[in-house]
Structure 1
Amino acid sequence: MLLVEAVQEEYVLRYGGRDESPIDASDFEDPRGRFFVGYLDGVPVATGAWRRSTVEAFGTSRTAEIKRMYVVPAAQRQGHARRMLAHLETTAAAAGIEALVLETGLKQPEAIALYLACGYEPVPGFGYYCGSDLSRTFGRRLELHG
């Protein structure tokens, strides 16, 4: 998918290399997870996904990890990332997920600002980049919909 490749190119620019965390596309197939593409006038401009996780956060192990949040540069600062994040939260909660966790990098200050503004808070490190000085991990308890 073009947008997934675009985010990898962004990682190369910011960090000098691609995201090497292991990803299996089947992790994003129902019921293990979901992958979404946001469109503007029929053109894909945003991606976001979640996959079930074994990370414990906020007193629950019914968690999912957010992955592949990305908005193309021409569509940034228009609320697309915030809408995608809200959609991920809604769909995860509807699937019984009680908390979302995510990992982002210190060289992505706009992502960190978005997550903090949307109620995410720092959580203990996890995953492939756990212990990296550039890694930042956040999470948020979800309201279950039923």
Structure 2
Amino acid sequence: MAYEIIDTSLHDPVVRPLLDALQIEYATRYGDFRRNAATSASDELARYPAELFVPPHGAFIVALLDGETVGGGAFKRYDGTTAELKRIWTRADQRRQGLAHRIVEELEARAVRQGYRRVYLTTGFRQPEAAALYRKAGYEPLYDVSIAPEVHFRLPFGKDLVEPARKDTLDALRAPEPLGYPA
């Protein structure tokens, strides 16, 4: 399939399908962990201002297929050398076709061009597909994998963009303890 990858911002209407679908997905997957799952999901998506996801410190991309939004993702500055991936998503009918991997690669390339040396991200314990995607893309789990994922709640990962085989450059990103259920 011929996906068109465009650079955009949270204010662009082309992003709305991505945000709406993420809100439903978060509310559905974590509904039994949050009192008002829909509101919690909406709050999570609104937690960061749009300005964080634009150059020179961030980026937001969308994948289009025949003019329809079918995927996307973003990153923001985590620290001076680290970008933090956020909002990686593909539409249900486009999954398992390599689109999410391409989105991650596109975001990594932009992060390198913007001067970042490594990438950090978290995914939820009820998103095993995302965890598998990140591992396949060379991301190192930054949590104790011998502990049940639900104890961590949020699963952090990292990757050195300059020397992907290096893991010691990620030590400062490791969680000192499980990232349990947020208050």
TM-score of the pair, normalised by structure 2: 0.68
Question: Number of aligned pairs?
Answer: 133
Does residue 1:89 correspond to 2:89, yes or no? no
1:62 corresponding residue in structure 2? 81
CA displacement at 1:46 relative to structure 2: 0.3
Cα distance in 2 for partners of 1:19, 1:86 equals 27
- Between the aligned residues of both structures, percent identity stands at 39
TM-score of the pair, normalised by structure 1: 0.84
| 1:31 alignment partner, one of 56, 60, 71 | 56
Superposition misfits of 4+ residues, deviation over 2 angstroms: 19-22
Q: Which has the higher helix share?
A: 2
Does residue 1:133 correspond to 2:136, yes or no? no
Cα distance in 2 for partners of 1:91, 1:119 equals 17
With a CA cutoff of 8 Å and minimum separation of 6, indicate the structure with the bigger relative contact order.
1
2:5 corresponding residue in structure 1? none
| 2:123 alignment partner, one of 104, 107, 125 | 104
1:58 corresponding residue in structure 2? none
Does residue 1:42 correspond to 2:67, yes or no? yes
CA displacement at 1:33 relative to structure 2: 0.4
Q: Which runs of 5+ in 1 are unaligned?
A: 55-60, 126-131
Name the SS for the 1:85 alignment partner.
helix
The answer as to whether partners of 2:17 and 2:69 remain within 8 angstroms in 1 is no
The answer as to whether partners of 2:57 and 2:114 remain within 8 angstroms in 1 is no
Cα distance in 2 for partners of 1:76, 1:123 equals 25
Does residue 1:2 correspond to 2:17, yes or no? yes
> Letter of the aligned partner of 1:99 in structure 2?
R
